[in-house]
């Protein structure tokens, strides 16, 4: 599938690094993504449920020193189009394939967080030639029962307001520290966009009905790093054992004093561990 690249819409400054906000047409749907860096080596970052490319803003400056960093808003999320569809893992994996083809990325390193981790793992299993190295951050795919933090997040998506969103993000981080208002306000803004709730809940149902990812993981020969916050209340760290034992070539990193998004809580440490794994220590 060939995507049509459109002009840059906005330049975003993140810690003195210029991010280009771009849009591309994939199968008639407008997809938004951010891009930074001019290396020949590419690093693609995939966000989690209900998030957007901005979720990675704290680590972009570190990665853009070494890579061309490309970060899409998944179809159905952020400021990408939200068509009426069944938002299954296969749907997202196929979207990622189309996105990479449309942005002329024949091979890349991949980082996926939470839902994004499950998507990138499924994609790697089906497209091993495309993925140089894979980094999974607290990925979904094993857990079949919800947690209080996930329930709070779903509630915030259905009823997006400052109280529900702040409560959900505080629970997910698990540090007791106050949450940046930009994170809360950005989530509320995105979840009030047309079809945002529909896409969110369709994804939740798709995850619930998906098969456990064990078989797909066992077929992956790509070098993989698994990063998990020790205090993750959304997908508890004990689920890491199933990933480590299922993957053929896996380096496991536990990030202490972190919840579900260690790249938000400890961006420098997270980036150093990833860059070391990618050969830039």
Is residue 257, in this structure, part of any structural domain at all? yes
Q: Which residues are within 8 A (CB) of 251 and not within 5 positions of it... i.e. 6 or more apart?
A: 223, 224, 225, 226, 277
Query: For residue 41, what are its two tokens?
Result: 């080596």
pLDDT for the residue 174: 77
Is residue 272, in this structure, part of any structural domain at all? yes
Condensed to tens digits (0 to 9), the pLDDT of residues 5-29 reads 444 444 444 443 578 999 999 999 9
Contact between 233 and 149 (Cβ < 8 Å): yes
The model carries a pTM of 0.93
Instruction: Report the first-to-last Cα separation within the chain, whole angstroms.
Output: 37
Q: What does the alpha-carbon distance between residue 25 and residue 93 come to, in Å, rounded to a whole number?
A: 17
Query: Considering its fold, how many domains does the chain have in total?
Result: 1
Is residue 245, in this structure, part of any structural domain at all? yes
pLDDT for the residue 176: 67
Condensed to tens digits (0 to 9), the pLDDT of residues 28-66 reads 999 999 999 999 999 999 999 999 999 999 999 999 999
Query: For residue 209, what are its two tokens?
Result: 């009905």
Any idea what DSSP says for residue 153? H
DSSP-based three-state secondary structure for 163? helix
Condensed to tens digits (0 to 9), the pLDDT of residues 177-193 reads 778 899 999 999 999 99
H/E stretch holding 90 reads helix 89-102
Is residue 69, in this structure, part of any structural domain at all? yes
User: Pick from 71, 169, 157: which is nearest to 113 by CA?
Assistant: 71
Is residue 104, in this structure, part of any structural domain at all? yes
pLDDT for the residue 7: 40
DSSP-based three-state secondary structure for 266? coil
**Domain that includes residue 64, residue range:** 4-143+213-277
Is residue 178, in this structure, part of any structural domain at all? no
Query: For residue 222, what are its two tokens?
Result: 């790509």
Q: What does the alpha-carbon distance between residue 44 and residue 112 come to, in Å, rounded to a whole number?
A: 9
Is residue 256, in this structure, part of any structural domain at all? yes
| CATH number of the domain to which 42 belongs | 3.40.50.1820
Condensed to tens digits (0 to 9), the pLDDT of residues 133-172 reads 999 999 999 998 999 999 999 999 999 999 999 999 999 9
Is residue 50, in this structure, part of any structural domain at all? yes
């Amino acid at each position: 599938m060939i995507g049509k690249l459109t002009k840059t819409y906005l330049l975003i400054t993140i810690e003195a690094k210029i991010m280009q906000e771009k849009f591309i047409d994939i199968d008639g749907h407008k997809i938004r993504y951010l891009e930074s860096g001019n290396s020949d080596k590419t690093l693609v970052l995939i966000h989690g449920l209900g998030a957007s490319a901005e979720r990675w803003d704290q680590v972009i400056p570190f990665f853009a020193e070494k890579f061309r960093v490309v970060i899409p808003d998944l179809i159905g999320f952020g400021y990408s189009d939200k068509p009426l569809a069944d938002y299954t893992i296969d749907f997202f994996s196929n979207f990622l394939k189309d996105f990479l083809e449309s942005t002329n990325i024949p091979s890349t390193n991949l980082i996926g967080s939470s839902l994004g981790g499950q998507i990138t793992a499924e994609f790697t299993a089906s497209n091993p030639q495309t993925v140089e190295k894979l980094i999974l951050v607290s990925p979904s795919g094993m857990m079949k029962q919800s947690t209080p933090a996930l329930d709070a997040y779903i509630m915030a998506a259905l009823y997006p307001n400052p109280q529900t969103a702040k409560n959900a993000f505080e629970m997910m981080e698990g540090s007791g520290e106050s949450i940046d208002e930009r994170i809360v306000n950005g989530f509320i803004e995105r979840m009030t966009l047309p079809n945002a709730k529909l896409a969110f809940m369709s994804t939740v149902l798709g995850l619930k009905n998906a098969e456990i990812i064990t078989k797909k993981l066992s077929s992956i020969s790509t070098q993989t790093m698994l990063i998990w916050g020790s205090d993750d209340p959304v997908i508890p760290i004990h689920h890491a054992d199933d990933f480590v034992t299922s993957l053929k070539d896996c380096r496991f990193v536990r990030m202490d004093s972190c919840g579900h998004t260690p790249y938000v809580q400890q961006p420098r440490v997270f980036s150093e561990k990833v860059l070391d794994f990618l050969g830039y220590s």
